Structure 1
Amino acid sequence: MALKQKLGPKMFFRIKPVKMLTALKVGPKYATIIAKETDCTYSHTVKILDLFNDYGLVDFEKKGRIKIVKLTEFGDEVAKGMDTILTKLSKVKDKLS
């Protein structure tokens, strides 16, 4: 397998949790919307979001049965950092193509 095929986000990150975190950069969202945007099941999305909450990356706001998810200040910093890393990795991958 060539180096250009190995190098990429999958080599360093679990893609769906990264997508979930970076999807929240634009603002708060419902967990169901995050699940659809990241092509995950609702239960898997909630499980990952609960872990993010445990690490202080997101906060939940419940409105009845609906859960709104938003990044904390720390979560926003992490999401921006991941976005920067992903951008740099894609540039390296493009150079190898």
Structure 2
Amino acid sequence: MAEKHAENLFLQEKPTLALLAIWSFERTYASVITKEINSTFAHTTKILSKMEDCGLVQFKMDGRVKYVELTDRGMDVVNALKNLILKLENETEENSPANNISSTFQNSESQSSEESESQKVQSINSKVVNLRLKIENIYEELSNNNEDSDAIARKLGPFKRDIKKLEDQIESSQNPVDDIAIITLNDTRQRLDNIINQGQ
């Protein structure tokens, strides 16, 4: 029954954005997805439930926290969606809705060889903002679930690697990156260090 309706799910905007958001975060929460796709928690839960029925996502518990992540089949669908987005934007229409979606959820491994330097800068700016939001959302979720400071530090620690990757991309960029993005990234690093140091 679920197989029959899977194609209808991704003819709608919110489920598509939700799946791309899960791919971007790798492992996240329903509340984070709700904010990312500008939806209600109830509607997001319904979307995620349908995705689970279709075998695209799976839920896992880590202590008292319930995560959602892609299955192998879900990753295949994401790759198909990314290819569709690239086709729709013809790789040149910077202001198209499809380009806005792809740049928001594009990670460092998905940079195409044809991407211009200005597009790389725009992508870096988006990644910096998304990383800050991701850290704050996860910290808020963990705090609301009364996780202790050690557990919070362990779960947010890996984001140091993401910050370092972005710093390397900014340093190697041939075009200047927006000062706001640099300030935001520095502020994000300091914020993450403060959170992690609370658990030490």
With the shorter chain as reference, the TM-score category is 0.7 to 0.9
2:76 and 2:89 map into 1 onto residues whose CA distance is 20
* Structure 2 equivalent of residue 58 of structure 1: 57
- Match 1:22 to one of 20, 42, 51: 20
Pair member with larger Rg = 2
> TM-score, with normalisation over the residues of structure 1?
0.76
Amino acid at match of 1:59: Q
Q: CA deviation at 1:56?
A: 0.3
* Structure 2 equivalent of residue 84 of structure 1: 83
Unaligned runs of 5+ in 1: 1-11
* Structure 2 equivalent of residue 35 of structure 1: 34
> TM-score, with normalisation over the residues of structure 2?
0.38
Identity level (%): 38
* Structure 2 equivalent of residue 46 of structure 1: 45
- Match 2:11 to one of 13, 26, 36: 13
Number of equivalenced pairs: 84
- Relative contact order: is structure 1 or structure 2 higher (C-alpha 8 Å, sep ≥ 6)? 1
Q: CA deviation at 1:66?
A: 3.6
Unaligned runs of 5+ in 2: 1-9, 97-200
1:61 and 1:31 map into 2 onto residues whose CA distance is 12
RMSD: 2.3
Post-superposition CA distance 1:53-83 (Å, at most 9, x none): 0010000013466421000001011011111
Relative to total residues, which structure has the larger helix share, 1 or 2? 2
Relative to total residues, which structure has the larger strand share, 1 or 2? 1
